[in-house]
Amino acid sequence: MDFEEAADAVYAAPAADFIATRNELAKQLKADGDTLGATRLKALRKPTVAAWIANLVARKLPDELDELLALGDEFREATADLDGERLRELTPQRHQLLDKLTEQATRLANEEGQKVSADVGQKLRETLDAALVDPAAGDAVREGRLSSALRHVGFGVVDESGEPTNVTPLTDDRRKAARERRKAQQAAETAQGDTKESAAERKAREAEERERREREEREAAAKAEAKQAFEDAVAAAQEAESKVEDLDNRLDEAREALAEAQALVHRLGSELDEARRAAREAQKASREARKHYNRL
């Protein structure tokens, strides 16, 4: 068994058995000589209930999940092309498919003995919606190894605590291409109408265009600044998570060492009690022998 197989097995285990399964397989990898794989496996985080159910969907309902992700592709294409009519057609399908998949996932979870509260059901639906909206989130859900539910909030994907995840945000290439096509079309229409415009109209149009470009440049600068701040926040969150994982691993190791020490103390205590009993018996035998000797 390699790390990938072990990781799949860990996240496929019942939620209550996650830690035990992770530690057992980590020991197995270590025994097989894969120290790095064992360390990586022990760093895996236990999934929340909503994340565990989303992982269950990836394993048990792969076709339905692919249907959801394909609908997300259609949404992004319609958005990039600024096709309002197509978006209006797709929106009801989005809600219907999310409702259907959430209901199926809830039924699967109940069959596995996992109760689904209203809050967990909402987080599961938000995770599936994030998978539809964001391609990277979709890939993460399909992999079936989520440790936290996901939620798309406009600028990216966050986990259940509201912190940015390591899921790549939705790219804007297609939207940018659509805007460039519209600009080119407007420029062509403007060129055809130049001969009909008066000098005053042309000057007013140029001023408006200049103001528009300046506004877009300001917006682009603001977006770049916000993106940098977001990336810095993600990096800080990842560093903090890495520290937490390291401390968690050290705590597990300390607990194992404590258990071994406690077992040693118990064993030595038993041996000490046995030695004391033997000493008492030897002393008693010595006294009896002395009495017998003195009577002779």
Same domain, 8 and 80: no
Q: Phi first, then psi: what are they for 261, rounded to 5°? A: -65, -40
Give pLDDT tens digits for 250-288. 877 778 788 788 888 888 888 888 888 888 888 888 888
Give pLDDT tens digits for 126-173. 999 999 998 889 999 999 999 999 987 765 565 666 555 655 443 444
Unique residue bearing structure tokens 């033997």: 278
Same domain, 101 and 149: yes
Q: Which domain holds residue 105?
A: 49-172
Assigned domain for 126 exists: yes
Within 13 Å, how many C-alpha atoms sit on residue 211's CB side?
A: 6
Domain count, the chain: 2
Q: Are 12 and 52 in contact (CB under 8 A)?
A: no
Q: Which residues pair with 152 in a beta bridge?
A: 157
Q: Which two tokens stand for residue 280?
A: 């008492």
Same domain, 33 and 62: no
**pTM for this entry:** 0.54
Is pLDDT at 116 greater than 50 in this prediction? yes
Q: Which segments of the chain does DSSP mark as H helices, in order?
A: 3-12, 18-31, 35-42, 49-60, 62-80, 84-111, 118-133, 135-143, 173-193, 199-295
Assigned domain for 193 exists: no
Same domain, 54 and 167: yes
Q: Phi first, then psi: what are they for 77, rounded to 5°? A: -65, -45
**What CA–CA distance (Å, rounded) separates 269 from 251?**
26
* CB-neighbour burial class of residue 272 (10 A; exposed 0-12, middle 13-18, buried 19+): exposed
